[in-house]
Amino acid sequence: MAVREILKMGDPRLLRVAQPVTEFDSDALHLLITDMLDTMLAANGAGLAAPQIGVDLQLVIFGTNQPNPRYPDAPPVPYTVLLNPVITPLPGNDGVPLQEEDWEGCLSVPGLRGVVPRFARIRYTGFDQYGDPIDRTVEGFHARVVQHECDHLIGILYPMRVRDFSRFGYTDVLFPDLDPAQDD
Ligand code: NI
């Protein structure tokens, strides 16, 4: 088990546009993903992007197949390893992609939460660690997690997407009932 240091907001490595993965199913890639999973689970994260541990690659992991103590009301998201992702917002009934707002946190922005608009329904494509294609249409929390993690691959942290800073603050003040031991 290798829990890696998670970079915090202010580190310029979080602002890079990540490089595509060109070699799949390699020992180095599997080792990196194992470290990312260990790091995400140790921090009770909903997801983790490679740039958050200083690795300049288009690689994210998310989901745990179980309810997340940091987001106890969120439905479980299947554990997924996603490389070189592409996100397409999907239209609602009126033909326009619907956005919805909800609270987010980030392991690189510890102790804070903010309300972030995200597309409600998306299609995402990419590859798993073996180079097999992934193609899913998802909505709600699953769609939100994917958009949050993939933002890390283009140097965007969620506070950059907050529109209403009256709904941005410290987790222990906003959500005093959340167990602080399980928060970031
Ligand atoms: Ni994050």
Model confidence pLDDT, tens digit, residues 15-53 = 999 999 999 999 999 999 999 999 999 999 999 999 999
Other residues' Cβ atoms within 10 Å of the Cβ of residue 115: 18
CA of 129 to the centre of ligand 1 (A): 21
The C-alpha atoms of residue 129 and residue 62 are separated, in whole angstroms, by: 13
Residue 109 tokens read as: 């922005």
Closest CA to 136 of 173, 81, 69: 81
CB-based contacts of 26: which residues, under 8 Å, 6+ apart?
Answer: none
The alpha carbon of 109 and the centre of ligand 1 are apart by a number of angstroms equal to 7
CATH of domain 12-183: 3.90.45.10
- Residue that wins the pLDDT comparison between 42 and 70: 42
Q: What pLDDT does residue 72 have? A: 77
CA distance 104 to 184: 12
- 22-60 core/surface letters (b: 16 or more CB in 10 A; e: else): eeeeeeebeebbebbbebbeebbbbbbbbbbbebebbbb
In 3D space, the residue among 107, 90, 78, 115 whose CA is nearest the CA of residue 182 turns out to be 107
pLDDT of amino acid 67: 73
The per-residue pLDDT for 183 is: 45
Domain boundaries along the sequence of the chain: 12-183
Ligand 1 centre from 23 Cα, in Å? 25
Question: How far is ligand 1, taken at its centre, from the CA of residue 125, in Å?
Answer: 20
Per-residue pLDDT, 180: 59
Share of the chain above pLDDT 70, in %: 96
Mean pLDDT of the chain: 94
- DSSP state, 76? P
What is the pTM (predicted TM-score) of this model? 0.94
Q: Kindly state the DSSP code that residue 24 receives in the 8-state scheme.
A: -
The pair of structure tokens assigned to 18 is: 């990540």
**Catalytic annotation, pick one of 5, 100, 101, 149:** 149
Confidence of residue 11 (pLDDT cuts 50, 70, 90): very high
Whether the per-residue pLDDT at 174 is higher than 70: the answer is: yes
- pLDDT tens digits, 110-132: 999 999 999 999 999 999 999 99
The pLDDT > 90 percentage for the chain reads 85
Note if 149 is an active site residue: yes
* CA of 151 relative to ligand 1 center, distance in Å: 8
* 3 state SS for 110-170: CCEEEEEEEECEEEEEEECCCCCEEEEEEEHHHHHHHHHHHHHHHCCCHHHHCCCHHHEEE
Check residue 3 and give its pLDDT.
97
